[in-house]
């Protein structure tokens, strides 16, 4: 005994702390225990007292248990969100069946065996086994729980990002209706149904607002307005947004089609996810400066049916709404994955330089961020209604080919083309058909 160790009890406490530290810092031992807990353990959730009503959306997790290795990503994220909102208590159990109080667990036996600790009848054996039990419950299990929690979140985020990316790819690569005059209907009740008609190139030719639903219920007047617009602009397709009042508006479109067989109209339900984000964006303000924000959504819905990729590429992928628990995911990892998907889709399909928008051109390999805005065009853009919005054509490409990085041009040439000869004078046509360099020759 000395000044630092007052008595035998203090000495034993210090010795136990040293042993616990030694047990917990054995990398091989902890690694083996971690893998065993991953394969044998389970996630258990319980509702917190008094939170049953407030957390009704987490009802499936009020008394839930499932092995770590069988947990799908959405259940992991749901459990962690419930814990974050203080509705659920989440526990990571090392075994599917909890051990009885006082029973030595398999994990404790493994720790004891690693340091040759066993009950051989010696005076210190019981104390050593108590040290092992203390180390497992207060130090090792706690650290393994943190490691498993991180691993679960990593697995869940990777799975959720993969689902988001897959859904986004399917949406972007949906079959386009093509260059056909289209009427877009953005459903609404009190504020009315916004109507926009775009021609075969996507240019806005007419807009209106009808009120077939509550509270005005001007059903017949709405049909008359839609019939006049369809007849005046040779509309072939009717795109209906799938938001509020979409079923009622779909019924209205069905009556429009039935009442006008000579027009040969076809109605299609279209996802309007992200349309409001696009309507209020700076790009939409520049592209459709003369249209009210509410009408821009109808334009976007119509164009989505014509060409989903060209329209959806204008919207932040995270705003399209085809993922799960996206607000719980790592922002940077999600953005990188979705941006890669959009770029892959654009380069797989290709673009027409004369009709492509700036957001679409930005995704083409070999074209820098600022070049689509800087490029000069000698012909007015024909595919969209934005006055002064011009797409880079012949001369811009010719200058880039001769004075800029040839490797970038080769990359871009494989997925671009133009077909309009509206350049003056002596246009230099450089497209996939005449390109002899490396790279694919797919063109949209």
Does position 167 have pLDDT exceeding 70, yes or no?
A: yes
| Residue 394 maps to a domain | yes
Span 421-439, pLDDT tens digits: 444 333 333 333 333 333 3
Query: CB 441: neighbour CB atoms within 10 A?
Result: 13
Q: Enumerate long-range contacts of 17-24, CB under 8 Å, 24 or more apart.
A: 19/128, 19/131, 19/135, 20/131, 20/134, 20/135, 20/138, 20/139, 22/115, 23/111, 23/114, 23/115, 23/131, 23/132, 23/135, 23/139, 23/140, 24/135, 24/139, 24/140, 24/143
Q: What is the pLDDT of residue 246?
A: 94
Supply the range of the domain harboring residue 191.
182-322
Instruction: Based on the fold, state whether residues 202 and 274 are members of the same structural domain.
Output: yes
| Residue 288 maps to a domain | yes
> Mean pLDDT for the chain?
83
Span 252-308, pLDDT tens digits: 999 999 999 999 999 999 988 888 889 988 889 988 999 999 899 999 999 999 999
Instruction: Based on the fold, state whether residues 118 and 30 are members of the same structural domain.
Output: yes
What is the percent of the chain with per-residue pLDDT over 70, rounded to a whole number?
81
Query: CB 235: neighbour CB atoms within 10 A?
Result: 27
Q: Cα–Cα distance between 346 and 361 in angstroms, integer?
A: 9
Which residue shows structure tokens 């530290």?
Answer: 21
Span 100-141, pLDDT tens digits: 777 889 999 999 999 999 988 888 899 999 999 999 999 999
Span 337-357, pLDDT tens digits: 988 999 899 888 888 776 778
Q: What is the pLDDT of residue 254?
A: 96
Instruction: Based on the fold, state whether residues 337 and 368 are members of the same structural domain.
Output: yes
E-strand stretches of 109-228:
182-186, 193-198, 204-210
Give me the number of domains the chain comprises: 3
Domain stops at, among 172, 203, 234: 172
Collapsed DSSP state (helix, strand, coil) of residue 98: coil
Spatial CA neighbour of 314 closest among 338, 283, 270, 343: 283
Quick one: tokens of 95? 């075994």
Q: Domain with 305 in it: what CATH number?
A: 3.30.420.140
Span 203-213, pLDDT tens digits: 999 999 999 99
Instruction: Based on the fold, state whether residues 137 and 25 are members of the same structural domain.
Output: yes
pLDDT band at 226 (very low <50, low <70, confident <90, very high): very high
Q: What is the pLDDT of residue 441?
A: 37
Task: Specify the DSSP element, H or E, that contains 92.
Answer: strand 88-93
Q: What is the pLDDT of residue 444?
A: 38
Span 4-37, pLDDT tens digits: 777 778 888 889 999 999 999 999 999 999 999 9
| Residue 412 · residue 347 · CB < 8 Å | no
Average pLDDT for 228-253: 95
Quick one: tokens of 54? 């407030």
Task: State residue 129 phi and psi, 5-degree precision.
Answer: -65, -35
How far is C-alpha 205 from the chain's CA centre?
A: 33
Q: What is the pLDDT of residue 331?
A: 85
Instruction: Based on the fold, state whether residues 111 and 221 are members of the same structural domain.
Output: no
Instruction: Based on the fold, state whether residues 218 and 264 are members of the same structural domain.
Output: yes
| Residue 158 maps to a domain | yes
Domain stops at, among 118, 149, 172: 172
Q: Cα–Cα distance between 232 and 161 in angstroms, integer?
A: 45
How far is C-alpha 423 from the chain's CA centre?
A: 40
Length of the chain: 444
């Amino acid at each position: 005994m000395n000044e630092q160790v007052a008595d035998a009890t203090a000495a034993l406490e210090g010795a136990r702390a040293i042993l616990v530290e030694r047990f917990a810092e054995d990398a091989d031992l902890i690694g083996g225990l971690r893998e065993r807990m991953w394969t044998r353990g389970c996630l258990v959730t319980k509702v917190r007292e008094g939170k049953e009503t407030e957390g009704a959306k987490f009802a499936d997790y009020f008394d839930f248990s499932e092995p770590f290795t069988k947990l799908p990503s959405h259940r992991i994220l749901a459990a962690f969100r419930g814990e974050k909102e203080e509705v659920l208590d989440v526990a990571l159990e090392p075994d599917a069946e909890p051990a009885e109080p006082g029973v030595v667990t398999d994990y404790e036996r493994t720790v004891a065996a690693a340091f040759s600790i066993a009950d051989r009848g010696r005076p210190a054996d019981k104390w050593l086994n108590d040290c092992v039990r203390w180390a497992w419950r207060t130090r090792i299990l706690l650290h393994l729980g943190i490691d498993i929690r991180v691993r679960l979140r990593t697995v869940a985020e990777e799975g959720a990002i993969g689902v988001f990316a897959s859904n986004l790819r399917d949406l972007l690569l949906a079959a386009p209706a093509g260059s056909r005059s289209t009427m877009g209907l953005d459903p609404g009740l009190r504020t009315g149904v916004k109507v926009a008609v775009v021609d075969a190139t996507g240019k806005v030719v007419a807009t209106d607002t009808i009120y077939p639903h509550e509270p005005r219920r001007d059903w017949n007047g709405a049909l008359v307005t839609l019939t006049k617009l369809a007849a005046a602009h040779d509309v072939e397709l009717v795109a209906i947004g799938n938001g509020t009042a979409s079923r009622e508006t779909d019924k209205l479109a069905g009556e429009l089609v039935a009442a006008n067989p000579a027009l040969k109209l076809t109605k299609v339900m279209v996802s309007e996810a992200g349309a409001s984000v696009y309507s209020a964006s700076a790009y939409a303000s520049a592209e459709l400066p003369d249209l009210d924000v509410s009408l821009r959504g109808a334009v976007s819905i119509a164009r989505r049916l014509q060409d989903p990729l060209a329209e959806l590429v204008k919207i932040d992928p995270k705003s399209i709404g085809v993922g799960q628990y996206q607000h719980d995911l790592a922002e940077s990892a999600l953005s990188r994955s979705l941006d890669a998907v959009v770029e892959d889709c654009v380069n797989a399909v290709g673009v027409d330089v004369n009709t492509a928008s700036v957001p679409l051109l930005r995704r083409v390999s070999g074209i820098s961020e600022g070049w689509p805005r800087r490029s000069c065009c000698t012909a007015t853009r024909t595919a969209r209604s934005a006055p002064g919005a011009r797409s880079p054509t012949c001369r811009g490409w010719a200058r880039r080919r001769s004075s800029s990085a040839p490797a970038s041009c080769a990359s871009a040439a494989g997925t671009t083309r133009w077909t309009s000869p509206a350049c003056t004078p002596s246009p230099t046509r450089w497209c996939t058909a005449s390109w002899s360099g490396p790279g694919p020759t797919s063109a949209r």
